[in-house]
Amino acid sequence: MLLASPLAAVLSAVALTPIATLSQCESRALGQPWDGRLSCGTQLPVSTPDLMTWDNALQVPFNRPWRRWGTTRLVTTVEGIAADYRARYGRRIVVGDLSRPRGGPFGPEFGGEGHASHQNGLDVDIYYPRRDGAEVPPFKVADVQRRRAQWLVDRAARDAQVVFTGPNLRLRRRSSRVRYLINHDDHLHLRLRP
């Protein structure tokens, strides 16, 4: 029991450390989400009181550090959505991939199915909440808590250039920014404007 307390303190300190940046310059998205790079990126924390990350390529909790980079604006937006979700529902959201530290290709050679976009620090995957409340992605449509998923899509659309959601969930597209896209039935894909 004596080891649990110091370990908990260390984990708590790590979760609450300031956002990491590659340098002291201003972060910028260069090029297009599907053909771009990231300059002076900001790293999303691995876990906070409002969010936790998931490594989709390995199918394990806590995404690897090199998969959690975006513009400062993207990281701040994700943290804002997570804080709003926790304030409303008392639970954390599960966040997947952003971009690599300097952006660029993020295809299957980097694990899993890869991404056609996620290259310039403006894209993020956020998993839909599960009906059972577990902090893991929903592995099938029946696992998704639809009311909370709808709230999450609507909230993400406030800040987005586009939000992709899976057609099989039959969530409402209350904003013209929300579009259906296959392979998005377990998560929404948020893209910010450049």
20-53: pLDDT as tens digits: 665 579 999 999 999 999 999 999 999 999 999 9
Instruction: Write the pLDDT tens digit of every residue in 86-130.
Output: 999 999 999 999 999 999 999 999 998 999 999 999 999 999 999
Residue 193's CB is within 10 A of a number of other CB atoms, namely: 11
Instruction: Write the pLDDT tens digit of every residue in 157-172.
Output: 999 999 999 999 999 9
Burial class (CB in 10 A: 0-12, 13-18, 19+), 186: buried
CATH of domain 26-191: 3.30.1380.10
Residue ranges per structural domain of the chain: 26-191
Q: Which residue has the higher pLDDT, 24 or 132?
A: 132
What was the pLDDT predicted at 24? 76
